[in-house]
Structure 1
Amino acid sequence: MKILLLGSGGREHALALKLKASTTPVDLVSAPGSDALAELGTCVALDLEAPAAVAAWCATARPDLVVAGPEVPLVAGVADAVRALGIPVFGHDAATARLEGSKAVAKAFMERHRIPCAASQTVKDLAAGEALIRAWPHGYPIVLKADGLAAGKGVVLAESGEEALATFRAFMAGQFGEASKTVVFEEPLIGMELSLHVLVDVDADHAAFAMLPACQDHKRIFEGDRGPNTGGMGAFGPIPFLRPEDIQRMRVELVEPTVRGLQADGLPARGVLFLGVMWTAAGPKLLEYNVRFGDPETQVLMQLLDEDLAALLLEVAEGRLVSRELKLKPHTAITVVLAAEDYPEGAKKGVPIQIGTPSVTVIHAGTRKQDGQWLTNGGRVMNLATSAPDLAAARAAIEAALPQIHWLGMQVRHDIGLKALRHAQAGKTVRDSW
């Protein structure tokens, strides 16, 4: 099967490794790819924000399947353009991708289909927003979200009215261009945050979905959840204290209404939805939709999935998914991010990486190869990933492997999954204080 994989980061390298391990033989092409992805196939220089360019390549090369990694090409309409050629795409049309591309569209969808979420108001006017902040009824922090894509930086939790006003004015002045000219204000939700991925296959006549295990990401740069937010410093899954009834509650209250809503609104969906969930004292509430696999959650999910990934993604792309339980390893998986010096404010690039022989999966996220030497080439440079019978064993395996990779200034958290492990060991559930 000839597969075109769109993207270049750790998520795509994890997907590529799993695709190449499929029972189905895979001829992998990555765009734009990376030096690590080039070792698993070939790379082509395509502009992922140019649907016509991607479609033109596909019209000539005729891949059997296109798999979209990041959200940007989906929001741009790449899936629409390629699908028009009769080529299956694992990735949503532009109209459906607006669930991630516009926070306001997503909130309206949640409210229309009665999906539990934070109370919110959408503002496009400076005076209206300033008045809303001064009369804010929901307590602090005030959550301000730039409506459009802002590379993961368009969400601020303002701890005071002054901070909220400063943030709002910066947004409206174009801090993130057009993406922040509309702002969604939300009440703060308190609880345990988790990531829920669902394969979805929806059109006017068919609606199927399959849930993947819930994961938990760690956003802060430093141990103990301190320091600035990042794209994610590590993740694990499944969450050991989530009970079957908790999973069922998310299925009934969040997933099924989403799938029904997609069909009711005429939004075709052939790909994955990544639901950001906050489990509050009142139960699970939806924070946001993402229309692609999470990073670093993908690195965890690919360790757990016990299916032929190429065949599974094609099943979704061709509209043949049947709602079912996916085959999973009876394990817990974990990934730990190795980050560059100065991340997340910047990233020191070109630093030589020493790689030994770790007994876990090595995933390249931001590297390049020069004269046979791997160098840092991004903020999140590499991931180590593995699975084991339980979370404690998975954490121990990563710790044992960490000395095998090193470069000057490397940042890593040693507490990925530790808080959840202690929560589970204390006999606590998702309903207990987190």
Structure 2
Amino acid sequence: MKILLLGSGGREHALALKLKTSAQAVDLISAPGSDALAELGACVKLDLEDPAAVAAWCASNRPDLVVAGPELPLVAGVGDAVRALGIPVFGHNEATARLEGSKAFAKAFMQRHGIPCAASHTVAALAEGEALIREWPYGYPIVLKADGLAAGKGVVLAAHETEALETFRAFMAGQFGEASRTVVFEAPLVGMELSLHVLVDVDADHAAYAMLPACQDHKRIFEGDLGPNTGGMGAFGPIPYLRPEDVERMRTELVEPTVRGLQEDGLAARGVLFLGVMWTAAGPELLEYNVRFGDPETQVLMQLLDEDLASLLLEVAEGRLVARNLRLKPHTAIAVVLAAEDYPEGAKKGVSIAIGSPGVTLIHAGTKKQDGQWVTNGGRVMNLATSAPDLAAARAAIEASLSEVQWPGMQVRRDIGLKALRHALAGKTVQDSW
């Protein structure tokens, strides 16, 4: 099977490693790819935000399947352009990708279909927003979200009125270009945050989905959940204190209304939805939709999935998904991010990486080869990932491998999953506070 994989980061390397384990031979081409992905197949330089360019390459090379890693090509309409050639695409069309590309669109969808979420207001005028802040009825912090894509930086939790006004004015002045000239204001949600991925295959005549295990990400740079937010310093799944009845609540209150809503609104969906969930005192509430796999959650899920990934993604892309429980290893998986010096404010690049023999899966995210040597080339440089019978054993396997990958200034959190492990051992549930 010839597969074109769009993307270049850790998520895509994890997908590529799993795709190459398929029972059938996989001819993998990555665009734009990376030096690590080049070890698994060819790389081609394509502008992923140019649907015509990607479609032209596909028309000439006729892949059997296109797999979209990041959200940008989907929001740009790459899925539509390639699908028009009769080539299956694992990735949503432009209309459905608005669930991530526009926070206002997503909130309206949630509200229209009765999906539990934070109270919100969408504002596109300066005076209206300033008045809303001064009369804000829900307490602080106020969550301000730039409507469009802002490279993960368009969400601010304003602790008081002054910060809210400053943030809103900066957004409206074009801090993130057109992406922040419409702003969604949300009431704060308090509780336990988790990540839920769902494969979805929806059109006018067919609606099927398959849930993957819920994961938990760790956003702060330092241990103990301290320091600035990052793209994610590590994740694990399944969550040991999440009970079967909790998973069923997410299915009935979040997933099924989403799938019905897509069909009712005439939104075709062939890919994955990543639901950011906050489990509050009232139960699960939806924070946001993403229209692609999360990073580093993908690295966890690929350790757990006991399916032929190439066949599974093609099943979704061709509209043949049969709703079922996916085959999973009876394990807990974990991924720990190794980050560059200065991350998340910056990233020290070009630092040589010493790689020994880690006894776990090594995933490249922000690396390149320089004179035959791997060097740092991004903020989140590598991931160590594995699975084991339980979370404690998975954590121990990562800890035993950390000394095998090193470079000066490397940042790593050694407490990924530790708080959850202690929570579970204390007999607490998702509704109990840490």
Partner of 1:309: 309
Aligned residue runs from structure 1 range 93-104, under 5 A: 93-104=93-104
Q: Secondary structure at the match of 2:398?
A: helix
Amino acid at match of 2:386: T
| CA deviation string 1:102-132 (max 9, x = no partner) | 0000000000000000000000000000000
Q: 1:210 is matched by which residue type in structure 2? A: A
User: Is residue 213 of structure 1 aligned with residue 193 of structure 2?
Assistant: no
C-alpha displacement of 1:25: 1.3
Q: Which residue of 1 aligns with 2:233?
A: 233
Q: Name the structure 1 match of 2:34.
A: 34
- In the other structure, the counterpart of 2:88 is 88
Question: What displacement does 1:423 show?
Answer: 0.2
Which amino acid is the alignment partner of residue 48 of structure 1? L
Which secondary structure does the structure 2 equivalent of 1:224 belong to? Answer: coil
* Alpha-carbon displacement from aligned partner over 1:362-394 (angstroms, at most 9, x marks no partner): 000000001210000000000000000000000
- Rounded Cα–Cα distance in structure 2 between residues aligned with 1:11 and 1:432: 31
- Which residue number in structure 1 is paired with residue 12 of structure 2? 12
Match of 2:432 in 1: 432
1:282 aligns with 2:282: yes
| Contact 1:144–1:184 (CA under 8 A) maintained in structure 2 | yes
TM-score, normalised with respect to structure 1: 1.00
Paired position in structure 2 for 1:339: 339
1:422 aligns with 2:419: no
CA offsets 1:233-258 (integer angstroms, 9 cap, x no match): 00000000101100000000000000
Kept after mapping to 2: 8 A contact 1:197/1:274: yes
Q: Which amino acid aligns with 1:88?
A: P
Q: How far has the Cα of 1:147 moved from its partner? A: 0.3
**CA deviation digits over 1:286-338, x for unaligned, max 9?**
00000000000000000000000000000000000011000000000000000
- Aligned position for 2:256: 256
- Write the mapping of 1:36-75 to structure 2, written as runs, cut at 5 A: 36-75=36-75
2:400 — aligned with what?
400
Distance 1:418 1:166 in 2: 37
- Unpaired segments of 5 or more residues in structure 1? none
Cα distance in structure 1, aligned partners of 2:231 and 2:379? 9
- 1:24 to partner: Cα distance: 2.0
Paired residues of 1:340 and 1:410 also in contact (CA < 8 A): yes
Structure 2 residue identity aligned to 1:25: A
Which residue does 2:131 correspond to in 1? 131
* 2:175 alignment partner AA: Q
Report the residue type matching 2:348 in the other structure.
K
Note the alpha carbon deviations across 1:127-170, whole angstroms, 9 max, x for none: 00000000000001000000000010000000000000000000
Which residue matches 1:298? 298
Measured in 2, the distance between the counterparts of 1:22 and 1:244 equals: 30
- Who is 1:168 aligned against? 168
Structure 2 residue 328 is the aligned partner of structure 1 residue 328: yes
Rounded Cα–Cα distance in structure 1 between residues aligned with 2:304 and 2:140: 38
| TM-score computed with the length of structure 2 as normaliser | 1.00
Task: Work out the CA distance in 2 between the residues paired with 1:432 and 1:229.
Answer: 24
Between the aligned partners of 1:369 and 1:433, the Cα distance in structure 2 is: 45
Separation in 1, partners of 2:249, 2:300: 23
Whole-Å separation in 2 of the counterparts to 1:219 and 1:157: 14
Matched, 1:246 2:243: no
RMSD, matched Cα = 0.4
Deviation at 1:353, TM superposition (A): 0.2
CA distance in 2, matches of 1:24, 1:403: 35
Residues 24 and 308 in structure 1, CA contact (< 8 A), matched pair in contact too: no
The equivalent residue for 2:351 is 351
Q: 2-side partners of 1:247 and 1:101: how far apart? A: 27
User: Is the 1:148–1:180 contact (alpha carbons within 8 Å) kept by the matching residues of 2?
Assistant: yes
SS in 1 for 2:79: helix
- Please state whether the residue corresponding to 1:25 is helix, strand or coil: coil
Identity %: 86
Q: What are structure 2's unaligned runs of at least 5 residues?
A: none
Letter in 1 for 2:185: F
Does the CA-based 8 Å contact 1:2-1:64 persist in structure 2? yes
